[in-house]
Amino acid sequence: MPNSEFSIHNSELKPYRVIISGGGTGGHIFPAVAIANELRRRHPAAEILFVGANGRMEMTRVPEAGYRIVGLDITGLQRRLTPQNLLFPVRVFRSVRKAGKLLEEFQPDAVVGVGGYASAPVLLAATSRGIPSLIQEQNSYAGLVNKLLARRVSKICVAYGGMEKFFPAEKLVLTGNPIRSEIAQGSREEALRFFGLDASRPVLLVVGGSLGARTLNHATAAALPRLKMAGVQLLWQTGKLYYPTAREDMEPYPGTGLHALEFVQRMDLAYAAADVVISRAGALSVSELCLTGKPCVLVPSPNVAEDHQTKNARALVDQDAALLVTDAEASLRLYDEALALLGNPARQQQLTTSIRRLAHPNATTAIVDELEKLMVRPTHS
β partners of residue 233: 203
Other beta carbons within 10 Å of 15: 11
287 labelled ligand-binding: yes
| Angle, alpha carbons 292-223-27 (nearest 5°) | 35
283 annotated ligand-binding residue: yes
- Residue 288 labeled ligand binder: yes
284 labeled binding residue: yes
Could you write out the three-class secondary structure of 28-90? HHHHHHHHHHHHHHHCCCCEEEEEEECCCCHHHHHHHCCCEEEEECCCCCCCCCCHHHHHHHH
Is 285 labelled as part of a ligand binding site? yes
Q: Residues 6 or more apart from 314 whose CB is under 8 A from it?
A: 140, 324
What residues contact residue 376 under an 8 Å CB cut-off, 6+ apart?
none
Q: Are strands 110-113 and 17-21 parallel, antiparallel or unpaired?
A: parallel
Q: Is 206 annotated as contributing to ligand binding?
A: no
Assign 369 to helix, strand or coil: helix
186 is in an annotated binding site: no
Q: Give strand ranges (E) for 66-208.
A: 68-72, 110-113, 133-137, 155-158, 172-174, 203-207
24 is in an annotated binding site: no
Is residue 286 marked as binding?
A: yes
365 is in an annotated binding site: no
107 is in an annotated binding site: no
Q: Does 237 show up as a binding residue in the annotation?
A: no
Q: Binding site for UDP-N-acetyl-alpha-D-glucosamine: residue ranges?
A: 25-27, 139, 180, 210, 283-288, 309
Q: Binding site: residue ranges?
A: 25-27, 139, 180, 210, 283-288, 309
